[in-house]
Amino acid sequence: MKIKKVLMVLLASLFVLSGCQNPIDLEPPEGTSALVITLNENVSRTLLPDIDMDIAEYRVFGEGPDGESFDVTTSEEVLVLDELAFGDWTVTVTGKNAEGFAIGSGSGEASLHTGETTALSVTVIPFDGFGTLNLTVNWPAGDLEIPTVNAVLTPALGEPVSLDFLISGDSATFSSDAVADGYYSLSLELLDNGINTMGTVEVVRIVKDGVTEGVFDYDEVNQPGGTLDFTIDQQMNNPIEVSILDALDSFGETASMTVSASAPAETENLVYFWFVNGQPYATGESCTVEGLDKGIYNLDLLAFTVDGMRGGSTGVTFRVTELDLSPYMQIHTVQGAGHTSPYAGQTVENLIGVVTAKDSRSFWMQSPVPDNDDATSEGILVYTNPSALEVGDLVVVDGTVKEYGYSNELKLTEITYPTIKEVIQSNYPLPAPVILGLGGRVLPNEIICNDATVDVYDSVFDPEEDGIDFYESIESMLVQINDALVVAGDKYGEIPVLADNGATAPAYTKNARGGVTISADNYNPNLVSIDADAYILGLPAPVANTGDRFSGPVQGVIGYSYGKFLVLPTVLPDLISGTLEPETSDLTGTEEGLTVAAFNVENFPRDDDGMSAAEIQEKIDHTAEIVVDALNSPDILVLEEVTDDSYSVNDGVVSADANFTALVNAIAAAGGPATYDYRQIDPVNNDEGGWTGANIRVGFLFNTARVSFEDIGSGDAVTDTQVLTTDGQADISLSPGRISVDSFAGSRRPLIGKFNFAGETVFVIANHFNSKGGDTTLFGEAQPPVLGSEAERLVQAAAINDFVDQILAVQSDANIVVAGDLNDFQFSAPLQTLKGGVLINLTEELLPAEEQYSYNYNGNSQQLDHILVSPALFNSAAQVDIVHRNSEFSSQTRHSDHDPVLAYVVPGYDGGSGPSGSIEGLIFSDYGEGGSNNKYLEVYNAGTDDVNLDSVFMLLCSNGKALAEGTVNAFPAGWVLSSGELVGVYNSSAVEAITGKMSAESSFNSGATFFNGNDVIVLIEDVNGNGSYEDGTDAVLDAIGIPGDDSYFGSNLGLMRNHDVTTGSSVFDISQWTEYSQADVDAATYYGVY
């Protein structure tokens, strides 16, 4: 008979050494039998195999009497099994890692007796076998004459084996796939002519079928008369967390250093071995290092259990110097690993450093002995007159540590009220500059700060990932930029660059003209600004344009000013001019098409009050040349920042007629049309922002030979324009007129004008939203940055969107252009509010992301200037161009900091359908996007004639693609749709309620239903009968969605066509449809019943 038993299994794993168990005693539940299986789990360290040796899951398999068995998988340590037969059981346990690979096993036997508890302890150990060991040693090119590597691999319990390295150039390699599993110590020496130059000792682990790799990059090696700064970058995973206590960064040749080993309290019976540059030096728990020559050294510590089965290693790097610097306070101690010095507000004494740079007010000094911790800066600014000091002086300073800076900005750590106690030595060797980029410290290229909630002080200090922490970690240090590529024109003497010709910049940030463009998730922290006219060198700022390069490495110290980090140069090579030329556009007006441009002319016509008459005329002429030569004399030009006629003289003058007239005349003189006119509205004095007294405003220039302006009423600065209805069409009460005056208080108020072109009305709204002043900086204290100015732009965007909605409510196919300097990015909240599901941002839809820029700020190419249009104009296959004339070039040579945007639109165009075709009344009557694949369409013949569907197909434009990119989906051959009948189109994987709703003679499945809520479906008449879509030939009969617009309009809902709609439209108008629920889609409530 079978008696109920309980088998309690305790699981653990021993994954470092075989035969070492740690059973756990458990009291079984009363009245049961239990089997307890115990396994011990540890993790390995140092040079590890590529196989994860941490057990994530156990498979426990048992075989008992009479063929009884169990097979259980668990991640728990306690496993209780009942209903087992009494008798002898054999239990096998297999350990698997997180990837599901079996990495070890163990087994045990136990007898179960009625009413008794049986405990079984199983040890899971790694599989026996052989693994692969790959080692690489690298050293600086040309530093060694006859390099050799002396390497010995010693098993924990066994004889040492010498490893034969293959020397090739400036590296050496070793590889073997026949190394037995287990732990080893690796002793490695790099020799030159048989003399030790560097070395290290590590613990190595080999597992069956695993690959263990080690790369030793000796960035410096000891040479006569030289110094060496060596680091090893390895991935460590510790079985024994051993560390070295009381190590010094440096000490003098006549001094010594005593260190001791530290291991976790639970680790007992360890033996310790100390090595200096790979050579045995001492044994025991402590070690005194002394009697070494000047140079840099590795002190390595190996720790093993007495049975030799577990081990761990660690090491430190130190310098032996000619001078004993250990009695002095070190700069990295003052700086600390963070944005604030741990000594802020305190007086420090005996701070030692070598002077690396100076100007008339301060000097910078840097520790002669770094601590090899990238998180702590080795440099600091000392605020005092440095006239008595020279670069290269090794000085000792007392003073007060201060975090200096302005509100919302980061603070610069400096020494104030200093006393120069001593100049220990002159002409002391300067520390090697930190290379920013390849061959040095590679700058973060995507993240500024991603782990703060309020400010930078509550974030994790992570210089490897966060750009703001990276620059803090090299604050005031001497740095070097190789192959510095200029990515924006100079401004205020600052030249933004990328190191290494931009080699480490993400490809998606690089634009075609040599700059880097921002995105919603990347503001390019790898940009570095060179403060070319900083006081250290006292040079004038050179003229720099995008694409220029410096003829050699740029060196300087890292400073911070006006919310950004800067390189204050100590070495500034000459600039090599690039080949970048100002752009001209190919877009021009046609008989059917209209061109509209938006251009911020920056305080036109004066940059400042000190300009001479000749300089003012130069700006006027240069602006006119851009209008004529670069923009091809657009039909309508939206201008921003035109000042009053007295510029910034606060004399009550608000008229700008003279300035507009000057530009109109200059355009004619530059070879443009002599038929330009203008419209604008004078603001209330000093009521719309900008420089006091300048009264900047927006306005229209337009070519009267191409368009006419309809003057309506007498608009003024404080009266709102109203939307009207005239003969069933949208109209406005004022032209020119202001919009939502109250929403733009203290900011430039928008201007609306009613234009006529080729018999079509076009409403144009000129804008200049409030500036981004009030936002905190990218590299400021507030993280993420606070967008203090955004709230006002959101109100302004909502006001314009509401006005557009009012026009479209009267006339859904109205031609509307919204253009200007919106002072925000295409992905920003204000721009999304402005679009509101109705307006289409032409540059966002039609240009690659990296080419969407019209402005440059601190090296970041970004878009502030936009042209948005209503669906009627976007469906005209509109074109757009940002004409790069200014933002990429030096502020010393340009007359505006904005690039103009130029658009081509065709009012009244049929959406690219070409000829109207011969079919009338064929429309989409239903659209369903339900759960999963529950999707369908209806096509209805509202005309009077039967339609042969062989001459019609459906285009599926996924993700709002243009018509030319759509996929053709045909109707079944030979089908004819009679007047007043419909055909159903369904997804083949839809539920039966949909697929079976209509007969096979009146419905079919089609790939046209593989749509989501932002996919466009278009009904096309195949005019030439070739079965593919040809723009300008085939006719658009009807559309659901807007080609070229990937906005979501139909997710998880149904749309039924209003019954009064009997004609299809190339312009999707949501007001022609009635929405119903997803549940009704899934139930096919309305499908097939139109």
C-alpha closest to that of 476 among 599, 568, 544: 568
Packing angle between helix 657-669 and helix 613-625, nearest 10 degrees? 60
So what's the pLDDT on residue 223? 56
* Percentage of residues in the chain having pLDDT higher than 90: 64
- Sign of the CA dihedral running 439, 445, 449, 451: negative
Q: How many CB atoms lie within 10 A of CB 329?
A: 19
DSSP per residue, 570-620: EE-PPEEP-------------SS-EEEEEEEEEEET-SSTT--HHHHHHHH
So what's the pLDDT on residue 929? 94
Q: Which domains does the chain have, with CATH numbers?
A: 6-126 (2.60.40), 130-321 (2.60.40.10), 331-425 (2.40.50), 434-576 (2.40.50), 627-636+675-702+709-905 (3.60.10), 922-1082 (2.60.40.1260)
pTM of the predicted protein model: 0.66
Q: Which residue has the tokens 């996007």?
A: 929
Decide the pairing of beta strands 1035-1040 and 1016-1021: antiparallel
Give the C-alpha separation, 824 to 1028, whole Å.
41
Q: How many CB atoms lie within 10 A of CB 115?
A: 10
C-alpha closest to that of 379 among 296, 479, 462, 499: 479
Q: Are 502 and 524 in contact (CB under 8 A)?
A: no
Q: Per DSSP, what are the bridge partners of residue 92?
A: 61, 107
Beta-strand ranges (E) seen in 330-465 are 347-358, 362-366, 379-383, 394-404, 412-425, 434-435
Q: Distances from the Cα of 465 to the Cαs of 233, 445, 470, 558, 1041, in angstroms?
A: 16, 9, 8, 19, 42
Collect all residues with Cβ–Cβ distance below 8 Å to 57 and sequence separation of at least 6: 73, 74, 75, 95, 96, 100
Please tell me what DSSP assigns to residue 1014: T
So what's the pLDDT on residue 252? 81
130 backbone dihedrals φ, ψ, rounded to 5°: -125, 145
Q: Are 184 and 225 in contact (CB under 8 A)?
A: no
Collect all residues with Cβ–Cβ distance below 8 Å to 162 and sequence separation of at least 6: 150, 151, 152, 153
Can you say whether residue 633 is alpha, beta or left, with left for phi > 0 and alpha for psi between -120 and 50 degrees? left
Tokens of 675: 């038929």
| Burial degree of 685 (CB within 10 A; 0-12, 13-18, 19+) | middle
For residue 245, give the 3-state DSSP assignment. Answer: strand
DSSP per residue, 406-423: -TTB--EEEEEEEEEEEE
DSSP per residue, 754-815: EEEETTEEEEEEEEEPPPSBTBPPTTBSBSSPP-TTHHHHHHHHHHHHHHHHHHHHH-TT-E
Give the C-alpha separation, 181 to 209, whole Å.
9
pLDDT under 50 in the chain at which residues? 1-45, 224-238, 911-915
Give the C-alpha separation, 218 to 660, whole Å.
67
DSSP per residue, 530-559: EETT-TTTTPPPPP--TT-EESS-EEEEEE
DSSP per residue, 653-695: ----HHHHHHHHHHHHHTTS-S-EEEEE-PPPTT-S-SSTTT-
Buried b (16+ CB within 10 A) or exposed e, 280-319: ebbeeeebebeebeebbbbbbbbbbbeebbbbbbbbbbbb
